[in-house]
Amino acid sequence: MTKKRLNKLVGRVGGIKNLVLTPLASLWLLTLLLDIFTPGKIFSPLGYLYIAIGIVVLIYVVWPLYKSRRLVNYYWQRVKKNKLAVVGLGFILFLILLALLGPLFTADPTAVNFEEKNIPPVGFSVEESVYHAETGQFITKTASGTWGHPLGTDNKGRDLLAMLVSGAGVSLQVGLLATGIAVALGTLIGVVSAYLGGKVDNILMRFTDIMMTFPFFLLLVFIVFIFGPSLAFIVLVIGLTGWTGTARLIRSETLSLRTREFILAAKALGASDGRIVLAHLVPNVISLIVVIATLSIPGVILAEAALSFIGLGDPSVTSWGMILRAGQQSLDVTWWVAVVPGVMLFLTVLAFNFVGDGLRDAFDPRSNV
Amino acid sequence: MKEIILSVKDLKVRFFTRRGTVRAVDGISFDLLKGECLCLVGESGCGKTVTALSILGLIDSPPGKIVRGEILYDGLDLTKCPAERLRHIRGKEIAMIFQDAQSALNPVFTIGDQIVEQIRLHLEVSQQGARDRAIGLLKEVGIPSPGEVAGYYPHQLSGGMKQRAMIAMSLSCDPQLLIADEPTTAVDVTIKAQIIEILRRLKESRKMSIIFITHELGIVSEIGDRIVVMYAGRVAETAPASELLKNPKHPYTSGLIKCLPDITQAKERLESIPGTVPSLDNPPGGCLFNPRCNRAMAICRKEQPPPVKVNKEHSVFCHLY
């Protein structure tokens, strides 16, 4: 009885997918409206992006993956042959756990404590000249690392581990959100452009060319100048300018797909243009999308780090670029402040690249390793 | 007198390419009766597929365009039908199956999902209802253990199975008219016989009209009620199947029939029609077949032949009669 009723409901809304999507999306819209019309903010703008992308990922990635477990298993067997990709995947999972669970165990990354400044990481010790007030002379003092601050502290006494954990969250947020926006936009523009062809194709691709030549850094400086530095703006600007490469790749792939007979067959059986784009073309380029997304995350993470490094980042969050910036000012004494986030950035970028390469090889039917 | 379900009148389709205008279909007319199987026969490039695509309004425009004529389906002119209305006719009332089922099925979805999608596009049924229906259709076209096959991807099926799945998909909304575009060309002989058998059975059980496009006259005798022989975008001869095969009037038709291998007689060489199909962007004057015709006369080079009635149902476009 209940099942019958559920089936009827599913039939009306159109699939379990939509049954989940509709309430989630309306919930999201409701919170957004509440947030706008009440004085107390519930989430930051970034929080909304997060929830929105989370819903999209749940519906269009997690659910289909769960439905085709056999296929996922098949590709996992292929990815598994590439050891570097597996290591990279492990590192990314570690990073996600660090960003999610880390803040529960570490101190406040912004807490300043001048009593405990310039402490090196555990296992290291540095010599420091300290002004002695009574004698009026500089004396040499040795400072060694303690377990209280496993990675040491910076020149304001902030715990480096806590900063690192916070930075991991920022990097992942920016990387995933900006890439999500860029890839979604790029895919849509690429597929529509290739499918409709003719004038639409020409206009969209010329627009892409213009966007490619547009200096996004300048735009970012401009936006920071007008609206003030905010992580949400940085994410939006990177996302709204970074889709061009994706659009071109997807377009060229779709151009060969759209002449295939199954597109004509879908039309002959009465599918609309929107349906052909979303239900026939996009699923056929999904492997390309996954690879492009994975390979463009490191670029976005580096872009955000670079922005923070030159002081255009959001000052209210501790990102890796910002720690680097703090560290390079006193590289001679507190070298670890710059080295630790630098190494983390290096490893993160490497890990995403390895996973991207592994996925590309796994999805490519020609490279039967 | 049986009811006419589809009537093509003086259809002209042109492709405006950079090298010139191609007259792919140049004024063809035919009527299709309810429950009848009409065969469009002709060589490659004679406009069979273009005719079929015109019926469904799927001619790519540009470069193609229906410049003249009407296609009346149920009293509605499909050439002037608004796009949205036409979309609801496609698949629901007029369905089409393609030559190469391998490329006509979407490689990333299972057979079952594709049929379910097709059903729910046109009919208001639940997911489960559509799934049951899909499995029923797969069973109807003779697929063993249809429940299991519904979960397979196209690449997991053999050519014959894919073609059957394609037929099941096109039947999903009980179409009045099925257009089969060389459905037996890409499969081997045993499968070919099975596909023909399935189509013949479906025609009987569902009282469905079929437009069967082929270049093999051998198949025509097995499934066709009536035959339209096309040559270079025009109709050469039209007659009931048995009559046309026994008593061909047009030199082209008799040429085609002579080309059929006959296993009862040992022949050194198979007969063939000399020459090739004329290029349609620069056709010869008069009867399009005259450069290849062994009975061509002076008038054939000057004038396009008018239809000549041989009897009530048999007409031929030739100056000989």
Tell me, yes or no, whether A59 and A200 share the same domain. Answer: no
Tell me, yes or no, whether A138 and A196 share the same domain. Answer: no
Q: Residue A116 falls within a domain, yes or no?
A: no
Number of structural domains chain A divides into: 3
Q: For A38-49, what is the mean pLDDT?
A: 61
pLDDT in tens, B96-131: 888 887 888 888 888 888 898 888 888 888 888 888
Closest CA to B166 of A15, A264, A277: A264
At residue A62, the 3 state secondary structure works out as: helix
Per-residue confidence (pLDDT) for residue B77, from 0 to 100: 85
Tell me, yes or no, whether A61 and A127 share the same domain. Answer: no
Task: Look at B126 and A11 and tell me if their CB atoms are within 8 Å.
Answer: yes
CA distance B34 to A251: 44
Tell me, yes or no, whether A97 and A181 share the same domain. Answer: yes
Q: For A146-160, what is the mean pLDDT?
A: 75
Nearest-CA distance A205 → chain B (Å): 20
- Mutation choice for B interface testing from A200, A257, A259, A269 by most B CBs within 10 A: A269
Q: Residue A115 falls within a domain, yes or no?
A: no
pLDDT in tens, B190-239: 888 888 888 888 888 888 899 999 888 878 888 888 899 988 888 888 88
Closest CA to A166 of A120, A216, A102: A102
| Residues in chain B within 8 Å Cβ distance of A285 | none
Q: Residue A261 falls within a domain, yes or no?
A: yes
Per-residue confidence (pLDDT) for residue A250, from 0 to 100: 92
Tell me, yes or no, whether A183 and A220 share the same domain. Answer: yes
C-alpha torsion angle, residues A339, A342, A344, A349 (rounded to 10): -160
Q: For B268-279, what is the mean pLDDT?
A: 75
| Residues of A at the B interface, defined by Cβ within 8 angstroms | 7-8, 10-11, 14-16, 198, 260-262, 264-272, 275, 279-280, 283-284, 286
Which CATH number is A348's domain given? 1.10.3720.10
- Helices (H) and strands (E) in chain A — how many of each? 16, 2
Task: Look at A264 and B98 and tell me if their CB atoms are within 8 Å.
Answer: yes
| Residues in chain A within 8 Å Cβ distance of B121 | 269-271, 275
> Would you say the pTM of this structure is higher than 0.80?
no
Placement of tokens 């030739």 in the chain: B318
Tell me, yes or no, whether A188 and A259 share the same domain. Answer: yes
| Residues in chain B within 8 Å Cβ distance of A7 | 126-128
Question: For B25, how many CA atoms within 13 A lie in the half-sphere containing its CB?
Answer: 28
Tell me, yes or no, whether A197 and A317 share the same domain. Answer: yes
Tell me, yes or no, whether A142 and A167 share the same domain. Answer: no
- What phi and psi, each to the nearest 5 degrees, are found at residue A199? -65, -45
Higher pLDDT, A224 or A295: A295
Tell me, yes or no, whether A165 and A146 share the same domain. Answer: no
| Residues in chain B within 8 Å Cβ distance of A272 | 87
Task: Look at B95 and A275 and tell me if their CB atoms are within 8 Å.
Answer: no
> What confidence tier does A7 reach under pLDDT thresholds 50, 70, 90?
low
Q: What percent of chain A has pLDDT over 70?
A: 82
Q: Residue A368 falls within a domain, yes or no?
A: no
Q: What percent of chain A has pLDDT over 90?
A: 9
Higher pLDDT, B196 or A52: B196
- Mutation choice for A interface testing from B60, B103, B132 by most A CBs within 10 A: B103
CB B35 within 8 A of CB B2: yes
| Residues in chain A within 8 Å Cβ distance of B100 | 261
* Confidence check: pLDDT of A110 > 80: no
Q: Residue A114 falls within a domain, yes or no?
A: no
Both tokens of residue B285?
């004057």
Q: Residue A211 falls within a domain, yes or no?
A: yes
Tell me, yes or no, whether A36 and A61 share the same domain. Answer: yes
B156 touches chain A (CB under 8 A): no
Both tokens of residue A331?
């590289």
Tell me, yes or no, whether A55 and A188 share the same domain. Answer: no
Which 3-state string (H, E, C) describes A165-208?
Answer: HHHHHHHHHHHHHHHHHHHHHHHHHHHHHHHHCHHHHHHHHHHH
User: From the list B58, B87, B126, which residue is nearest A272 (CB)?
Assistant: B87
CA distance B127 to A109: 52
CA distance B224 to A252: 43
Average predicted confidence (pLDDT) for chain A: 79
Cis, peptide link before residue A365, omega less than 30° from 0: no
User: From the list A7, A264, A271, which residue is nearest B128 (CB)?
Assistant: A7
Nearest-CA distance B165 → chain A (Å): 13
B113 touches chain A (CB under 8 A): no
Placement of tokens 């004509």 in the chain: A264
Per-residue confidence (pLDDT) for residue A369, from 0 to 100: 45
Q: What is the extent of the structural domain holding A139?
A: 122-150
Tell me, yes or no, whether A34 and A90 share the same domain. Answer: no
Nearest-CA distance A194 → chain B (Å): 15
Write the ipTM: 0.78
pLDDT in tens, B16-42: 888 778 888 888 888 888 888 998 888
Q: Residue A200 falls within a domain, yes or no?
A: yes
> What confidence tier does B156 reach under pLDDT thresholds 50, 70, 90?
confident
